[in-house]
Amino acid sequence: MTVPASPARDTFALTREKFSLPEGVRYFDGNSLGPLPKAVQMQAYITTTHEWGDGLIRSWRSAKWNTLPQRVGDAIGRLIGAAAGQVVACDSTSVNLFKVLTAALRLRADRKVILTDASSFPTDLYIAEQVARLCGAEILNLPVSEFPKFLNDRVAAVLLCHVDYRSAEVYDLARLTRAAHRAGALMVCDLSHSAGAIPCNLDESEVDFAVGCGYKYLNGGPGAPAFLYAAKRHHTDCEQPLTGWFGHAAPFEFTPSYAPAPGIERFLCGTNQVIALSLLNRSLEVFDGISIEEIRTRSLELTEQFISSAENRLAPHGFVVASPKDSNVRGSHVSLRHPQGYAIMQELSRRGVIGDFRMPDFMRFGFAPLFNTADEVEYLVDQIDQIMTTRAWDNPDYEQRRAFT
């Protein structure tokens, strides 16, 4: 007897068809770089050949290039729980973090501490260090579990990665934001490993500022523009440090002094990345007709399946699941640890199974519901099992070294 597919599975079968996935490749690295949506290939042609080639400078109006940051921002806002007019797509995650963290410190000018997660993604810590230097503040690096004990009237801002990039642990954003607010501090969040994969509920949680990238679960392509969220309640009072002309209230009046735009546009800086924004805008259409809650449900099915199979079949080979077993606090990737992790990942790649590696021994596998399937999960476990059984990882070509991604 054939069991009919559930409506959710039918939906994800349709979204998978929207991607240009290489024949014979099983891709588990959407948490680092999302695959190419088919519609983006056509959009690249349209933007370059017709809008730029034929329209030339006229396309700033006819193709609405001038509003791309806001339109893309609102499309991302739907996925991260932000009402319209609070998100713009622009620049890189690091640049946007510099903007919002500086803005947060200026809003709390009488406070001189930035509380950060000691195991945060390194670039966030680098940016925080420089913001602290420029603003005469200091950094307090602690495990997230220690945050509530150190929140006091000296803390201006809390900087948190919503999902741990190594382990995939999801932090309770709403609870930590409430704790920060009780102490009078502002919450600044990095959503790079959650946007497009799990609910973020920024408005509901009353997060103050957030940033994230466009090339992971949002599938915007390598180096895609990032996004920036600022809660509407801060728009009138917040000041960001990179006061470029696109953040001006009247950019084409060319006045010698700066006046910030009244809304989220004040966080823009230089000229829009038109081609990249056009591609990101088109890539977000893959999410049309599907909710972030449906995506989360499917994500948990895939990660639960992988963890169960890994514990049953891969633990005897020395693998340890380094991600939370509790689905409530696990993101959309799962990390395994093994002393030969780098060589194993190299052999998997040779077989057309792509994940990624993080020092010292984290093997990360992203499970993106828009294109990953349950059959692929079992294939992944089968391949790892075969590699260990045959010692295929023991290859002199697989020299241990730091991976780029």
Residues with active-site annotation: 121, 190, 215-216, 364
Can you state the percent helix, strand and coil of the chain, rounding each to 5? 45, 15, 40
Q: At which residue do the structure tokens 């089968």 appear?
A: 382
Alpha carbon 295 to chain centroid, angstroms = 15
Cα–Cα dist 227/229, whole Å: 7
Cα–Cα dist 379/104, whole Å: 46
Helix (H, G, I), strand (E, B) or coil at 229: strand
For the chain, what's the residue count?
A: 405
The kind and range of the H/E element at 211 are: strand 209-212
* Phi/psi of residue 142, nearest 5 degrees: -145, 160
Cα–Cα dist 96/91, whole Å: 7
Alpha carbon 270 to chain centroid, angstroms = 22
User: Of 161, 116, 107, nearest to 138 (Cα)?
Assistant: 116
Could you tell me which residues are beta bridge partners of residue 228? 88, 211
Cα–Cα dist 379/373, whole Å: 10
Helix (H, G, I), strand (E, B) or coil at 161: strand
Non-local CB neighbours of 343 within 8 Å, separated by 6+ positions = 393, 394, 395, 398, 400
Cα–Cα dist 119/32, whole Å: 18
Helix (H, G, I), strand (E, B) or coil at 108: coil
Tokens of 112: 């001189």
Q: Are 16 and 370 in contact (CB under 8 A)?
A: yes
